[in-house]
Amino acid sequence: MLTMMVAVSALRSNAVGTDSPMYARLLRNPDTCRKYGFEIGYCLMNRVMHWSGAADTVMFVVESLLLYSAIGLFIYRYIEERWWGFSCLMLFGTRTFFMAMNIARQYIAVALCMFAFMLYARKRWKLALGLVAFAMTFHITSIVLLLIPAAAWWQGHAKRFEAEATAVVAMAFVIQFVDYGGIISWVAGFIPKYRHYQYDSLMGDTGTSVVWVLYTLAVSVVFIIYIWRRRKPVGSGLGTGMTRANDEERRLLSGALVYVVMTDVFAGVDTLNRMSIFFTMFFIWLLTAVLATLGKRMQIAMELLILAASFLICYRQIYIRGNFGVLPYKMFFE
């Protein structure tokens, strides 16, 4: 399934995705890249492609190979084989597959950050930090990955982590109802690099829509259920490993926590909500971890319910609202 995603994503036309025509223009005029505030790593890659005469499809190929290699390795290492198919389908359910065809530059950074996390998990901290720094040369928001070790430290030292984390998630859920998109747009007007966001429709208030309130409520509840159920002793009918977190689980749970908090807090400001995409795979891991605690029949029922609900949201965004500009789809040779 991931191979199919690579092919479809890599061979797309530069007319697929809202930002893709911009990448094509920058490739034709590489001198304007830094002028418009793009990060140096992306600008260097863009200049090399321009000098070599490569088409913009090369960037899409690089992004697709990097991204789905990182996702495949993440799934292989951290998710039980029973849930591999579910995890791949959730790439559609979480709109990852479609967003990646829109904001390719950021997803190159996402892939690099996922590799950095896997190095961090193996205690190769210097290499991990170096890779995050490299990812920042493609998209500055890659720095948010450093929230994972901070959250992991909090888990390891908090005496009542479950209660504290529940309070944080609850506060994050409530914050989405504060209309601060206008405030952020006003502040952006004073920063030259982000001034173009001042009147950006992506700064609009989408968090109070019924769909997004339900989505943020769902992701919050999933997280809260997991952290409380895992405290029960092994043998209580909740599956194995439902005791205090080991190091690997703590790191993965930290990524899931950041995803939930960012999704809740930034639900009304899509431009900032894009930072949560660095942690989408951690939330997919969390879903599989919760499902694994259920009985077999309940697992199947909840799996189908999650897929159905997420696919409905995806259908609404992609097919009805036309978000991300990925439809109609065309290949680069058409």
* Sequence spans of domains, the chain: 1-138+297-334, 143-293
DSSP E strand stretches across the chain? none
What is the spatial distance between Cα 232 and Cα 242, in angstroms, rounded to a whole number?
A: 6
**pLDDT class for 244, splitting at 50, 70, 90?**
very low
Reply yes or no on whether the pLDDT at 67 is more than 90. yes
Reply yes or no on whether the pLDDT at 39 is more than 80. yes
Kindly report the number of other CB atoms within 10 A of residue 254's CB atom: 24
The identity of residue 143, as a single letter, is I
What is the spatial distance between Cα 323 and Cα 333, in angstroms, rounded to a whole number?
A: 24
**Residue 132 pLDDT:** 97
**Residue 231 pLDDT:** 56
With H, G, I as helix, E, B as strand and everything else as coil, classify residue 39.
coil
Average pLDDT over residues 197-205: 47
**pLDDT class for 288, splitting at 50, 70, 90?**
very high
**pLDDT class for 212, splitting at 50, 70, 90?**
confident
How far is residue 182 CA from its own chain's centroid?
Answer: 24
**pLDDT class for 220, splitting at 50, 70, 90?**
very high
Reply yes or no on whether the pLDDT at 96 is more than 80. yes
Nearest to 134 by CA among 104, 162, 119, 113: 113
**Residue 243 pLDDT:** 42
With H, G, I as helix, E, B as strand and everything else as coil, classify residue 12.
strand
Reply yes or no on whether the pLDDT at 235 is more than 80. no
Reply yes or no on whether the pLDDT at 106 is more than 70. yes
The crossing angle, in degrees rounded to 10, of helices 210-229 and 161-175 is: 180
Nearest to 175 by CA among 243, 255, 261: 261
Q: How many residues does the chain have?
A: 334
* Gyration radius (Cα) of the chain, Å: 20
Please state the φ and ψ torsions of residue 228, each to the nearest 5 degrees: -85, -35
**Residue 229 pLDDT:** 84
Reply yes or no on whether the pLDDT at 190 is more than 60. no
